[in-house]
Amino acid sequence: MSDRLTIGQLYPASVHPSALQRPAGSKNPVNPEVSFESLLQKNMLKFSNHAAKRLEQRGIELGSRQLDQISSAVDKAAAKGSKESLILMKDMALIVSVANRTVVTAMDGNSMKDNVFTQIDSAVIIS
């Protein structure tokens, strides 16, 4: 090997530093205009006003574990191409707009009985 390296030099003497730079045409694949906040909002589970009222009226409280399960169920529905999904948990049912990641309405066990769910294209059952 005939190339000589000097202290503080990370490249052989025969290679010019500009040769190591990326060409001007290649751009960073990550869009710098997309902020962490917008990514977080895009992936966060939301509740419509109607769903929030139903949760309050029916005394349904969701813990962080249940929210994680619902979010995971929405991810699974999205992976299958669903648009509107019914998510069934132990004693409640949620209708979710998968594209918007928004819970549209919520029902407790008593409200689910003898009910017909319409305008859904999938169901996810959480045990």
pLDDT in tens, 26-51: 555 555 567 777 666 667 899 999 99
Reference 103, options 38, 45, 40; nearest CA is 45
Query: Tokens at residue 71, please?
Result: 């979010």
d(C-alpha 92, C-alpha 70), whole Å? 11
Q: Are 96 and 103 in contact (CB under 8 A)?
A: yes
pTM beyond 0.85, yes or no: no
- Distance of alpha carbon 18 from alpha carbon 25, whole angstroms: 15
User: Which residue has 């299958």 as its token pair?
Assistant: 80
Task: Give the tens place of pLDDT for each residue, 90-119.
Answer: 889 999 999 999 999 999 988 888 889 999
